[in-house]
Amino acid sequence: MIPDSGGLSALLGDFAEVCAADGRRAVLLAEENGERCFKAGSYCGFICFTDGTFVEILPYPGGAEARKRLCAEFCRRCGAEFSRYVFEPDTSFLEFFISVFAGETMKLIKSGVLSTYASREENMTSVQGTILFAENIRRNLVHRERLYVRHEVFTPDRAENRLIKAAAKLLIGLTADAHSSHHLNESLSYLGEVAVPRNTDEEFGKCVNTRNTRKYSTVLGICRMLFDKNEGAAFTGKYIACAQLYDMGHDTAPATEIKKRLRTPEPQK
């Protein structure tokens, strides 16, 4: 239970309203001894607010074993092997969540991300593909040495990789762990040619389930948790940077940890 006081009150109040509107009992506004307070409902997980405040809700009765159960539940849902990851009792569920995504992404990158053929239109100095005569005249009337063509390129810029990049960009802003941050930076560097999706729902619709894409299943499972509204794990709100909460019945304890300034912003150059 968290008392209704200070800036955290506004953050949790808005989140409680979002939960009520969605019909999901994650955070509840209650009253005890004549004072307003916030209680954990039937969900466990983490909430990261835009000001850096971090709230963690663990299964009852809380503590290291409860956090371990929550981490194991996350791995079960996304398809990761819990035993592959070192569980540190003092590490928050948020950091464990990010470490699994970072680790699975690096494993995927080392095995080789998939590419696809995509159509591209551009000015070139030699004929590749098909010359688009009308556009070529409009663009290159003066520059006769150029040709405007449409051709096929083999690129890693495909839906699965775009979703991974979007997740990496989100999570790198939340982690305070140097190891996870390093892996996420490596991933973003490797996916430099990949665009950041504007609409993640559309990208999920473009993902294909084949023998070749099977190695993406765990990483995409985490991406669905983050972005897919139908997954039921992600929560949004006016002040929410990222929230992952899983319905675990009534087996919850009050929020056990609140942190400010989860990650110190780098100085502007």
Q: How many residues does the chain have?
A: 269
* DSSP result, 13-72: HHHHHHHHHHT--SEEEEEETTEEEEEE-SEEEEEEETTS-EEEE-BTT-SHHHHHHHHH
Model confidence pLDDT, tens digit, residues 136-188:
778 887 787 788 877 677 789 999 999 999 999 999 999 999 999 999 999 99
pLDDT-above-70 percentage for the chain: 89
Regarding pTM above 0.75, the answer is yes
The dihedral built from the CA positions of residue 127, 130, 133 and 138, taken in this order, carries a sign that is: negative
Pairing outcome for strands 2-3 and 43-49: unpaired
**Cβ-based neighbour number of residue 77 at 10 Å:** 16
H-type alpha helices, the chain: 6-22, 64-78, 93-111, 133-140, 159-172, 178-190, 200-206, 217-227
- 129 vs 17 pLDDT, higher one: 17
If residue 91 lies in a helix (H) or strand (E), which one and from where to where? none
Model confidence pLDDT, tens digit, residues 196-219:
998 999 999 999 888 889 999 999
Model confidence pLDDT, tens digit, residues 69-101:
999 999 999 999 998 888 888 889 999 999 999
Q: Would you place residue 5 in the very low, low, confident or very high pLDDT band (cuts 50, 70, 90)?
A: low
Question: What is the rounded CA–CA span in Å between residue 147 and residue 133?
Answer: 9
Q: How far is CA 180 from the centre of its chain?
A: 14
Q: How far is CA 131 from CA 106, 148, 244, in A?
A: 40, 6, 49
Q: How far is CA 37 from the centre of its chain?
A: 30
Secondary structure (3-state) at 261:
coil
